[in-house]
Amino acid sequence: DGGITQSPKYLFRKEGQNVTLSCEQNLNHDAMYWYRQDPGQGLRLIYYSQIVNDFQKGDIAEGYSVSREKKESFPLTVTSAQKNPTAFYLCASSIVRDSHEQYFGPGTRLTVT
């Protein structure tokens, strides 16, 4: 079955540590996205990528980094510079130049203490 996988489902880290969240898709979609979700704030765009080896900052990119070395993979690193990293992180993908309907993964809940 085609879809988006995110791992792990739950992640716990100590403050000051970098952590990488995985996102893999087998939908053959060109574009991939990372969102952060906090209660009452909807989804906010962190980074997006339209093609391999290219990505752009979203609205809240500070303290995050990404790479896009393969079409199917778009890992997100939450660095120690992110001041409030505890959140629910969602990865999505879409076909560029379509209606831009985005397909979402199941999410990773990151807790930093």
Partner 1 sequence: AQSVTQLGSHVSVSEGALVLLRCNYSSSVPPYLFWYVQYPNQGLQLLLKYTTGATLVKGINGFEAEFKKSETSFHLTKPSAHMSDAAEYFCAVSGTGSARQLTFGSGTQLTVLP
16 part of the interface to partner 1, by CB under 8 A = no
- Joined together, the tokens standing for residue 44 give 């906010």
Closest distance to partner 1 from the beta carbon of 64 (Å): 16
Calpha distance 32→34 (Å, rounded) = 7
Q: Dihedral (C-alpha) 73, 87, 39, 4: value to the nearest 10 degrees?
A: 20
Applying CB under 8 A, which part among 20-28, 68-76, 78-86, 95-103 lies near partner 1?
A: 95-103
2 part of the interface to partner 1, by CB under 8 A = no
73 part of the interface to partner 1, by CB under 8 A = no
Closest distance to partner 1 from the beta carbon of 34 (Å): 12
Calpha distance 13→34 (Å, rounded) = 19
Calpha distance 23→69 (Å, rounded) = 12
4 part of the interface to partner 1, by CB under 8 A = yes
46 part of the interface to partner 1, by CB under 8 A = no
